[in-house]
Amino acid sequence: MNVFSHPDFDDHERVIFGCDPQSGLKAIIAIHNTNLGPALGGCRMWPYSSDEEAVRDVLRLSRGMTYKSALANLPLGGGKAVIIGNPRQHKTADMMRAMGRLIESAGGRYITAEDSGTSVPDLKVMAEETRYVAGIKDKIGVDGLQRSGDPSPSTAYGVFIGLKSAVQYRLGRSDLAGLKVAIQGVGNVGFRLAKQLKDAGAELWVTDIYDDMVQRCVHELGATAVAADEIYSLPVDVFAPCALGSVLNDHSIAQLKATVVAGAANNQLELPIHGEQLRQRGILYAPDYAINSGGIIDVCYEHLGNQNAGALNQHIESIHDTLTEIFARADREQRSTQVVADQVAKERFSNPEGRLSNLTHQVA
């Protein structure tokens, strides 16, 4: 496997492979771009079916973080880490400490945070071995409650704001009462999004690889459980992918009956052409790294020592304006929303001169 000729290699600055036989750690850190600041991105643990799948995921995710931070006006670059293994079976404290040492070896060019399969307690163990961990400090969250590091409430809130923006733009409605939403993946972010949608009066259909998470939504939110292969074809208004990536592809797009796609998952499009396929079908797509940036905004504020909860909320709520701008520009130019979002983000991180101090000032 040649990384440099890999189809998802995008001039990444550094790709680090780490192995610790004693703890069982097999991990990859990908640093995509640090023009605007150190690469900050979550550490994911997942039972990848192959090394190739893990490499593809970390390359795509790290690139997405560069675009996400640039579009969210943050003084950060893009990076990501993946640990190969089942977090419910293979994770140990020794493995997390070994991961911390691997992160430390990057010398501060990569800062890690929580992601699928890892938690704040895991990050605190990593922090025993590295200085470069974010999202572990106690703070006031977007809901006004004290919490310990976990950025998922901010991610979910940002997706909720973005979903409302997409619904308003495409369906012309400012309220969500009676809105039909199919949610794929109801983990930390997906469940919080589901609760906010339920509180706003939406009707929910949910699926997840873990049945206990589905049943929680059924019992606590009155959601309807559906099989994994049924989630795409439901007659709903919004499809919200909140699990892993590449779920928008030839097969799934052909089944969609929703007119809006707005969810928390990273890298939702299997290929760039799928953004155009959605446009051709009249489906409004909220680009993933634009709508799900609430978590990285949260972690950035913590990293820079800004404890102003009001400023954090306002920054997250700016996702509404960012998406509305993308939607309108895509319509004017008759291009997919993904292409437009990519162009805006690339303009920002490709020309960092004069932006770094301004971005830091905005956040601090």
Q: 25, 265, 7, 236: which is closest to 16 by C-alpha?
A: 25
Q: Is residue 275 a known part of a binding site?
A: no
Structure tokens belonging to residue 145: 């409650």
Q: Is residue 185 a known part of a binding site?
A: yes
Q: Is residue 186 a known part of a binding site?
A: yes
Which among 80, 139, 164, 198 is annotated as catalytic? 80
Q: What is the 3-state secondary structure (H, E, C) of 36-85?
A: CCCEEEEEEEECCCCHHHHHHHHHHHHHHHHHHHHHCCCCCEEEEEEEEC
Q: Is residue 41 a known part of a binding site?
A: no
| Rounded Cα gap, residues 223 and 210, in angstroms | 15
Measured over the CA atoms of residue 169, residue 175, residue 179 and residue 184, the dihedral's sign is positive
Identify the helix (H) or strand (E) that includes residue 337: helix 337-350
Structure tokens belonging to residue 38: 């150190």
In the chain, at which residue ranges do the beta strands (DSSP E only) sit? 14-20, 25-33, 39-46, 77-84, 110-114, 138-140, 146-148, 180-184, 203-207, 224-225, 238-241, 260-261, 284-285
- HSE at residue 58, side-chain half, CA atoms within 13 A, is 28
How far out from the chain centre does Cα 332 lie?
27
| Rounded Cα gap, residues 45 and 99, in angstroms | 11
Structure tokens belonging to residue 219: 């019992």
| Rounded Cα gap, residues 322 and 151, in angstroms | 20
Length of the chain: 364
Structure tokens belonging to residue 345: 């983000």
Residue 346 falls in the annotated catalytic set: no
CB atoms within 10 A of CB 105: 12
| Rounded Cα gap, residues 70 and 289, in angstroms | 10
Residue numbers in the known binding site are: 185-190
Residues carrying an active site annotation: 80
Residue numbers in the known binding site for NAD(+) are: 185-190
